[in-house]
Amino acid sequence: MARIEESKRTYIEELATNPRVNLMVLSERINIAFHEDESEVSLSEKIAEKLYDMPQLITKLLQQEAIEFLLQCWDMEGESLIAEMYAREIEQLHFLGFLSYEDDTILLNMEAKDNFFFSLKSRRVQEELEEGTRLENILFGMLFLYGILDIYECCQMIQEEMFPELTYDELEEFILLRIVFWQSGILLRNQMNSRLLLASREVENRNEVFIQWSLREDLSWKRYSEDEYKNLALGNGIGGWDGIPELYDFVMKNIENDQYKVMMIVKSLVVKIQNGLTYEEITSAYVNLLDEEDKEHQRILCELIRTLYKTVPLYSLKGHTRTEVEEESQEARFHVIQGGKE
């Protein structure tokens, strides 16, 4: 258990406890000019000044869970909680100088509370946080499906179906600010057309994905509903594709009975399929999890993998499955020409 107490540091001193590289990243994201050899204190002074002038940046930087945890801590001063359950939130809040965690004690920065308490408690901020979470989950779902997002095209999809008032500049700003705390994506810039790209760390060969996109320019992005994107985000990229429940049950009964480890096995298999590995490459990697003499269970596992191989969307196919592309190809081959012989 961690006790919640007041920090004796000023807000600038609290910010300066961050590694200098973190302060440089934050300065870059909120558009502060700095020098490579600038001190932690100097960087912290500039960051504090910018956040005091533009407190709305905080809600764009921090995830909703982090601000809710901060509000909870402010109400629990002198009490205790299990800090390990909030490791990600504590990391974000320390990054912005709201608190630190030392010797099983959460130290709240009171200068930060004095300056930001009322703005973070407002109804407007709560609405902005909810909208930010909604947009974030849509983006995560898209990232799990497509592997790499062209932010310009991504914005068009979001505008058409989910956020009609969203502008490209707003989306780009949101990603540039929020990605500081995202573990799953990295930013790329196309040197030819300057377009911004967001790439999943689960994509094993980005160049191959780009090549396949260019070879299939006729293939449009597979559109999913907002709920489907959000469910994928909440499910860590595992969707309700045919074969997922059966594979999960099979692994639980025959390979591993720890739920977390089972989920990691299923997740790693899905990622291999999304990256375009062949059926043979995937099956050879996973049948080894079974006893070499257990031919019947090996056969069942191969059948389960084959089902997923056809129903899991591929990065190179812009979120389409192999089955969908094969069916479209068959329809094109056997298209009936109207106006034949009477």
Amino acid at 48: A
Region 100-115 average pLDDT: 94
Extract the runs of DSSP E, i.e. beta strands, from 69-226: 80-81, 99-102, 105-109, 148-150, 185-189, 196-200
At residue 341, the pLDDT reads 47
At residue 248, the pLDDT reads 95
At residue 190, the pLDDT reads 85
Q: How far is CA 278 from the centre of its chain?
A: 26
Region 268-288 average pLDDT: 94
CA–CA distance, 198 with 147 (Å, rounded to integer):
8
Region 322-329 average pLDDT: 86
**99-102/185-189 β-pairing:** unpaired
Tell me which H or E stretch contains 7. strand 2-7
33 contact partners, CB below 8 Å, separation of at least 6: 27
Q: For 142-153, how does the pLDDT look when each residue is reduced to its tens digit (9 = 90+)?
A: 999 999 999 999
**196-200/185-189 β-pairing:** antiparallel
At residue 197, the pLDDT reads 95
Lowest-confidence segment of 93-102, 178-187, 302-311 by average pLDDT? 178-187
CA dist list (Å): 46 to 9, 29, 38, 39, 174: 17, 13, 11, 11, 21
| 3-class SS of residue 195 | coil
Region label for 167, one of left (φ > 0), alpha (ψ between -120 and 50) or beta (otherwise): beta
The confidence band for 155, taking pLDDT boundaries of 50, 70 and 90, is very high
Question: Whole-number mean pLDDT of the chain?
Answer: 91
Q: For 53-78, how does the pLDDT look when each residue is reduced to its tens digit (9 = 90+)?
A: 999 899 899 999 999 999 999 999 89
Taking 70 as the threshold, does the pLDDT of residue 109 lie above it?
yes
Tokens of residue 34, six digits: 């700095």
Region 230-258 average pLDDT: 93
Amino acid at 335: H
At residue 194, the pLDDT reads 86
Closest listed residue to residue 125, CA positions, set 71, 176, 75: 71
